Amino acid sequence: MKYTKLNVSESIRDISLRDQKRNQGENNSDYKTPPWHRYVLTITEAAEYYHIGEAKLRMLVLENQTQEFAILNGNRVLIKRKKFEEFLDFATAI
């Protein structure tokens, strides 16, 4: 937390508004990178983005381990968005 000098002529409301304006660009936890800009997606994000069920995505990852669209990070599966889109372009059925 940053401390600022208190100007006697400023009201508490003015100080609060000034701090809100100052902190608008910093640590905005509401901001999320849209999926089409991200390099990898979690299974849940990929399921929402591609309208494919989570179980089906997990099955595709297990069945197509030779493809390079999945990254296993411990027990977390991450989907490389562009590689998965290339896989979907050539797939006739999933």
Domain range summary for the chain, segments of one domain joined by +: 35-90
> What three-state secondary structure class fits 45?
helix
What's the predicted TM-score (pTM) here?
A: 0.64
Q: How high is the pLDDT of residue 26?
A: 56
Q: What is the pLDDT of residues 27-85, one digit of tens each?
A: 555 678 888 899 999 999 999 999 999 999 999 999 998 889 999 889 999 999 999 99
- Among 61, 60, 35, residue whose Cα is nearest residue 46: 35
Q: Assign domain 35-90 to a CATH class.
A: alpha beta
Q: How high is the pLDDT of residue 63?
A: 92
37-41 long-range Cβ contacts below 8 angstroms, 24+ apart: 38/81, 39/80, 39/81, 39/82, 40/71, 40/78, 40/79, 40/80, 40/81, 41/78, 41/79, 41/81
